[in-house]
Amino acid sequence: MMNLKHLFKLMWNRRKMNLLMIIEIFISFIIIFVLAQSLVKFAVYYSEPLGFEYKNIWNLEVNSNNMENTEARKEIELIKQEIKSYAEVIEISEAYAIPYTSVDMRTTVELDDKEILTNMMLGDDNYAEVLGIELVAGRWFDEQDNASNYKPIVINRKLKEYFFGDEEAVGKFLGQRDDQRLIIGVVDQIKKRGELNDFGKLLFKRINPENPDSWIGESILIKMKPGTNMDFEEKLMRRLSIISNNFTLEMRSLEAMRERSFDKYSSIVYIFAFISLFLVINVSLGLFGVLWYNINYRKSEIGIRRSFGSTARSIYSQIVGETMVISTFSLILGSFIVFQLYVFLRNWLRPDIFYASYIISVLVIYLITAICAFYPSKLAADIEPAEALHDE
């Protein structure tokens, strides 16, 4: 069996000949890593909990058509009272920037020397109950906040860890210099845009219907009893259109919104998967062609080795071994580039996804080169001395 030191020596002696293969494997590794990063990212995101419920929840979109705030508040309260009067309805919540919508709200929050732009969602006192959001510390908004001297906020665990680490966040202040808000609760992670997205830093502000200056939500989330069919939607919308003369209303279920969002992001996954498969096939064909050329180029050398007593097995091991050494050298170069990229983008790359993508990319390259080396190596092992000298 040929030792590793000898394989490296052979590779060095043929460095000009092997340069093409090294470059091809190096570029292939970088491309496969980028694609693996995308596919692993989506797989990890999908495996993680969503952070809220979407089944049996309907979203009534309300557009006040630029009504004056006080008048809009009166009309939206009439709409809410009508919805709550039906036995099919468990609970409702007024909200703004709900899950599965393209509406984004962002705000800058700071503490000491730390400052970050974070996502923001608005909800009333029933919001967490309707969406089944779990609190890991503190509480959600309720009536006691009406008499508070401070404006309350609820933050998610990722924002809490950014500012407070392992320390308790409830009871502390966060916000802007001229708008400090009291943290009353911490919720678990929430994926506003759905399963195929990462947890973002997030805070919630309160919608207080009793305050005429409070935000008016663009959505009324309705938690329905299981089994409620769409016939009830038609009945409800007919009634609401009579009550509301100034609002534009549209009803959609969160399940339908989730499906639409999921289809949007899953199509991206399919595109990346197709590109990955296409590139793997092309890389395989390219490596196979290079190996085939190298073996034909080295026929006389292989024939001489056979004439001096080298067995078919040793020739086979040599060709496969050289291919693996070339792959290893290419991967060392590629790994250097990839880890430099990680250092540069560490604030945007999750370590678990990065390392999983890296390991998968390395294994894919080794697998491709091993498969591509198999048949050409077998052909090389079957070369007889007389055949090689005759061709020469």
Q: What is the model's pLDDT at position 14?
A: 66
For residues 20-44, average pLDDT? 89
The answer as to whether 368 is a domain residue is yes
Q: Taking the model in full, what pTM does it have?
A: 0.80
**Structural contact between residues 155 and 202, judged by C-beta atoms closer than 8 angstroms:** yes
For residues 42-52, average pLDDT? 91
Q: Which two tokens stand for residue 106?
A: 């962002």
Contacts of 103 (CB under 8 A, 6+ apart): 96, 97, 218
pLDDT in tens, 320-350: 778 888 888 899 999 999 999 999 988 788 9
The answer as to whether 55 is a domain residue is no
Q: Can you give the residue range of the structural domain that contains 71?
A: 65-246
Q: Are residues 324 and 370 in the same domain?
A: yes
**Structural contact between residues 121 and 105, judged by C-beta atoms closer than 8 angstroms:** yes
Q: Are residues 113 and 198 in the same domain?
A: yes
pLDDT in tens, 350-372: 999 999 999 999 999 999 888 88
pLDDT in tens, 93-152: 999 989 998 888 899 999 888 899 999 999 999 999 999 999 999 999 999 999 888 899
Q: Are residues 91 and 28 in the same domain?
A: no
Residues composing the chain: 392
Higher-pLDDT residue of 306, 136: 136
Residue 254 has pLDDT above 50, yes or no: yes
What is the SS3 assignment for 232? helix
- What is the per-residue DSSP string for 365-379? HHHHHHHHHHHHHHH
Q: What is the model's pLDDT at position 300?
A: 64
Q: What is the model's pLDDT at position 83?
A: 95
Q: Are residues 74 and 155 in the same domain?
A: yes
Q: Are residues 232 and 276 in the same domain?
A: no
Distance in angstroms (rounded) separating the CA atoms of residues 196 and 194 = 6
Q: What is the model's pLDDT at position 81?
A: 94
pLDDT in tens, 380-389: 666 665 554 5
What is the SS3 assignment for 14? coil
